[in-house]
C-alpha cells in the first residue's frame, strides 16, 4: 500500500498525464486535417457575419468529432474583434431545451443566470443580446441526441434567425447516432439548412501515430516500446478504430507500471489495460444510448435474469430470448415511465443499433419454433449492465432504492 510520500515523489513513468487524456486538445490533430478544413469552410459564412448554416458531425465514439469541434472553437476564439460568440454545450448534462437556453444565457449574460426565468424570457434575452450589435452565436451541441425535447430545442434555436433583424445563430451538432434525425418532427427538419460531415474510424497505423505522438510528451523517455504501441493500436482498431480507447489503454498501462514501481511498461501491463478499457468502453457506451434504446436493453436484461412468459431457449452453452417478448417488456417499461412507446418498426431499428454496438447478438429462429422470429443473446454480464442502466434510467445507485421501479416483475 502506497503512503503519501510515495505518491508525492516524481513519477518514473509519466512526465505529463494531461497529454494522455482523451479530452486534451493537441496543437495539431493528425489524420483529421480534412475534417477540420471542412468544418472551417462550413462555418466561414458565420465568421463573416452572415446568418449561419448548420453543421452536423457524425461518427462512432473516439473518431475525433468533439476534439475537432473544440479545436476549431479555439481557433475562432483567437480571431481578434470577431462578432462570433461561441457556446459549447454538453447535452449529456444540459439535456432539455430549458437547460440549453439557460446555459447559453449563463455563458453570455451571466447577470441573468439562475434568476428563475422561463424559457420564453431566456429566448427573448438571447434575441436582444444578439440584435444589439449583430452578433453571430455559434452553438455547439455535443451529443445532441441526448436532449429529451430535441424537436423543441432545434425549432427554437433555428427560429431565432427569422425573429431577429441582425445577427444570427449557427448550430454545430455532434452525435454518435446518425439516425436520430429520423425521429425529428418535420417542422424541425425543415428549419435546418445543414451540412453533414461523417467521421470515419481510425485505422491501426493512424492510431499508432496518434498514441506515438502523445507518449512523446506524456511519458518519460524509453518507458514504452514501439512493439507495445503497435499492439495497443491493433487492439484499438479491432475495437472499432477508437482513439479514445487507445489513449485510455496507454494511460492505464502506465498506471499499472507505476503502481508496481516499474521503470517501463510491459506487454502484460498493456494486456491488462486493454481488458479494463474494453469493459469501461461498454459501460460508457451504454450511458450514451438514447433513452428508448436503454429501455430496450433493460427489457432484455430483465427477461434474461428472470425468464419471461415464454420459455427461454438454450443450446447448452448460451441462452436466447424471443425478440417479440422483449418488445412487450419494453412497452410495459415505457408505460410505467409515462413515456410514449415507439412502434415495432422503431423497436427493430433500436435492436439493430444495439447489436451494431456489440451489446447483443441476434439469430434467426430455426426449426421447431412456430412462426418466424429472432432470438436474442446478451453479450455482456447482465448484473453490471443493469447497475448502469438503473442509474441512467431511474437514478438508482443501490438495491435499497429499487422498490419504485416500473414493471420489473
pLDDT (tens digit per residue) in 300-350: 999 988 865 554 555 555 678 889 899 999 999 999 988 889 999 999 999
Quote the CA–CA distance of 289 and 296 in Å, as a whole number: 10
* Range scoring the smallest mean pLDDT among 2-16, 97-111, 239-253: 2-16
- Residue 33 confidence (pLDDT) above 90: yes
Domain that holds residue 228: 202-287
pLDDT at 106: 94
Percent of the chain with pLDDT over 90: 54
Identify whether residues 280 and 300 lie together within a single domain: no
CATH code of the domain in which 272 resides: 1.10.8.60
Q: What is the tens place of the pLDDT at every residue in 200-229?
A: 999 999 999 999 999 999 999 999 999 999
Given 198, 219, 234, the domain boundary residue is 198
* Range scoring the smallest mean pLDDT among 62-66, 103-107, 182-186, 373-377: 182-186
- Residue 81 confidence (pLDDT) above 90: no
**If you average pLDDT over residues 246-272, what whole number do you get?**
96
Given 232, 254, 287, the domain boundary residue is 287
Identify whether residues 380 and 346 lie together within a single domain: yes
- Residue 34 confidence (pLDDT) above 70: yes
Identify whether residues 229 and 249 lie together within a single domain: yes
**If you average pLDDT over residues 147-164, what whole number do you get?**
90
**If you average pLDDT over residues 155-177, what whole number do you get?**
89
pLDDT at 319: 74
pLDDT at 262: 96
Which cell goes with 179? 439516425
Average pLDDT, the chain: 87
Given 287, 310, 340, the domain boundary residue is 287
Quote the CA–CA distance of 270 and 245 in Å, as a whole number: 12
pLDDT band of residue 183 (cuts 50, 70, 90) is: confident
pTM for the whole thing? 0.78
Structurally, the chain folds into a number of domains equal to 3
- Residue 6 confidence (pLDDT) above 60: no
Output 179 or 43, whichever has higher pLDDT.
43
Percent of the chain with pLDDT over 70: 88
pLDDT at 403: 47
Identify whether residues 59 and 145 lie together within a single domain: yes
Chain centroid to CA 23: 13
- Residue 146 confidence (pLDDT) above 70: yes
Amino acid at each position: 500500500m502506497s503512503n503519501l510520500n510515495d505518491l508525492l515523489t516524481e513519477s518514473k513513468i509519466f512526465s505529463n498525464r494531461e497529454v494522455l487524456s482523451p479530452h486534451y486538445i493537441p496543437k495539431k490533430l493528425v489524420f483529421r486535417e480534412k475534417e477540420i478544413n471542412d468544418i472551417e469552410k462550413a462555418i466561414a459564412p458565420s465568421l463573416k457575419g452572415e446568418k449561419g448554416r448548420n453543421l452536423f458531425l457524425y461518427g462512432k465514439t473516439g473518431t475525433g468529432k468533439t476534439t475537432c469541434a473544440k479545436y476549431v472553437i479555439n481557433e475562432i476564439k483567437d480571431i481578434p474583434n470577431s462578432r462570433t460568440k461561441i457556446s459549447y454545450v454538453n447535452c449529456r448534462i444540459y439535456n432539455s431545451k430549458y437547460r440549453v437556453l439557460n446555459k447559453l444565457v449563463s455563458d453570455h449574460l451571466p447577470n441573468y443566470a439562475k434568476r428563475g426565468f422561463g424559457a420564453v424570457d431566456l429566448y427573448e434575452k438571447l434575441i436582444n443580446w444578439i440584435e444589439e450589435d449583430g452578433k453571430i452565436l455559434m452553438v455547439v451541441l455535443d451529443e445532441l441526441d441526448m436532449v429529451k425535447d430535441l424537436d423543441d430545442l432545434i425549432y427554437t434555436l433555428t427560429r431565432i434567425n427569422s425573429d431577429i433583424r441582425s445577427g444570427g445563430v449557427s448550430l454545430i451538432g455532434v452525435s454518435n447516432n446518425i439516425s436520430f434525425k429520423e425521429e425529428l418532427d418535420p417542422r424541425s427538419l425543415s428549419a435546418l439548412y445543414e451540412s453533414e460531415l461523417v467521421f470515419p474510424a481510425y485505422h491501426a497505423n493512424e492510431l499508432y501515430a496518434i498514441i506515438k505522438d502523445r507518449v512523446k510528451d506524456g511519458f518519460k523517455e524509453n518507458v514504452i516500446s514501439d512493439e507495445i504501441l503497435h499492439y495497443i493500436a491493433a487492439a484499438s482498431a479491432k475495437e472499432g478504430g477508437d482513439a479514445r480507447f487507445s489513449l485510455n489503454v496507454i494511460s492505464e498501462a502506465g498506471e499499472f507500471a507505476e503502481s508496481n514501481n516499474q521503470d517501463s511498461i510491459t506487454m502484460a501491463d498493456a494486456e491488462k489495460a486493454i481488458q479494463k478499457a474494453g469493459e469501461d468502453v461498454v459501460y460508457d457506451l451504454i450511458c450514451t444510448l438514447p433513452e428508448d434504446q436503454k429501455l430496450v436493453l433493460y427489457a432484455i436484461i430483465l427477461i434474461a435474469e428472470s425468464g419471461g412468459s415464454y420459455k427461454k431457449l438454450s443450446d447448452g452453452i448460451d441462452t436466447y430470448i424471443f425478440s417479440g417478448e422483449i418488445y412487450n417488456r419494453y412497452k410495459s417499461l415505457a408505460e410505467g415511465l409515462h413515456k410514449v412507446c415507439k412502434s415495432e418498426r422503431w423497436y427493430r431499428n433500436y435492436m439493430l443499433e444495439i447489436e451494431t454496438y456489440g451489446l447483443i447478438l441476434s439469430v434467426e429462429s430455426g426449426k421447431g419454433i412456430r412462426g418466424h422470429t429472432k432470438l436474442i443473446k446478451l453479450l455482456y454480464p447482465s448484473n453490471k449492465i443493469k447497475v448502469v442502466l438503473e442509474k441512467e434510467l431511474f437514478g438508482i445507485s443501490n438495491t435499497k432504492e429499487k422498490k419504485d421501479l416500473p414493471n420489473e416483475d
